[in-house]
Amino acid sequence: MEENAVGRITEHFGKVSDPRIGNATRHKLLDILVIAICAVICGADGWSDVALFGRSKLIWFKKFLELPHGIPSHDTFGRVFGLIDPEEFRRSFLEWVQAIQKLTKGEVIAIDGKQLHGSRDENNGQAALDMVSAWATANQLVLGQVKVDDKSNEIPAIPRLLELLDITGCLVTIDAIGTQTEIARTIVDQGGDYLLPVKENQGHLYEDLEKLFGIEEQEGFTTPGYTYARKVDDQHGRLEIRECWATSSAECLDYLRGRDNWKALKTLAMIRSERHIGDKVESKTRYFISSAQMNAKVFLKAKRSHWGIENQLHWVLDIAFREDMSRVRKDHAPENLAVLRHMAINMLKQEKTAKVGIQAKRLQAGWDEAYLLKVLAV
């Protein structure tokens, strides 16, 4: 039963090249990978935790791993994950994700960056690691991730991530840093659609959208082709009202200078949010463009879905996995450990029998080997 549960992991991660030579190979690489994945699922946040988990579960691991020299030390785990080629490790992750889940047509894929604050090492002049990840909002799945190059930002990393993914039929959402003509073109060329926010630094595009919607609002949105939707959320003493006006009118699209720079542009939208907290009222108006033809109701829902990457991925990484507290810093280890966390989140979210949060699922997996097998078998 244990062999079957880890079969898919060994199938895809068994291809990872062993970076060690000579006497450094006394522990099997696949044993190290499987122990680390299981440990991170069950609550381990660093290499000492991983080694302790392995020793605690030695009898269980011996049922399906070779372990010719027992459980590796925490130094061995750290050294091996510091040496593993992160590009190769990510490719194995991508193959594994594609094997466990197929995306639904029209699914919103949110792309966003996150900094691993604890990976910063000021004494050695090492900046904190930044990772850009793709999150399937409906399937609750990390699809892939890439590292942001040192002394760069997320803009070059986003196309590299997109090229790794199959986004056919999906709607890709990115925050304002991703509102770039080449990124929009890449998404459409790969069979997907984009939904992008437009801010003041977009020059003519922002000016034209602000003026267009300003004129239409003054005239009561009487131009044919406009749709309207409103959503009210009243939770925890906070009232939020979101209104959306959207149009795919050729007349409105032609109003934009440089319209042809945005490949397959079909929909323009304005979203106004009004937040009431006690006696305080905050209002914000934002503008968006999309290559998908959507009415206001669909647009509002899709835009709201983007924040799933913050609430359901980044927040979970910080709270349940304590990612920002991690002191793993050496070589490729921070990047590879980030992939292990993503694997753990995917498995824990796909396991549906336990009706508890991620943190409780990690505890249950650590306590109950039968439940851990369910998580591994997703």
Which strands form 226-235's sheet, in the order they lie side by side? 141-147, 129-136, 108-116, 171-174, 193-198, 280-290, 267-277, 238-247, 226-235
Which residues lie closer than 8 Å to 366 by C-beta, 6 or more apart? 42, 43, 53, 372
Q: What average pLDDT score do residues 104-126 get? A: 82
Tokens 């305080």 map to which residue?
Answer: 280
Nearest to 226 by CA among 248, 255, 253: 248
Please tell me the pTM assigned to this model: 0.90
Which residues lie closer than 8 Å to 258 by C-beta, 6 or more apart? 204, 205
Tell me the per-residue pLDDT of 243-268, one tens digit each, with 9 for 90 and over.
Answer: 999 999 999 999 999 899 999 999 99
Q: What is the pLDDT of residue 217?
A: 93
Q: What is the pLDDT of residue 17?
A: 94
- The rounded distance, in Å, linking the Cα atoms of 38 and 15 is 18
> What is the pLDDT confidence band of residue 239, given thresholds at 50, 70 and 90?
confident
Q: For residue 230, what is the DSSP state?
A: E
Q: What is the pLDDT of residue 271?
A: 97
Q: What average pLDDT score do residues 350-362 get? A: 94
pLDDT of 276 over the 70 cut: yes
Tell me the per-residue pLDDT of 127-160, one tens digit each, with 9 for 90 and over.
Answer: 788 999 999 999 999 999 999 987 778 999 999 9
pLDDT of 357 over the 80 cut: yes
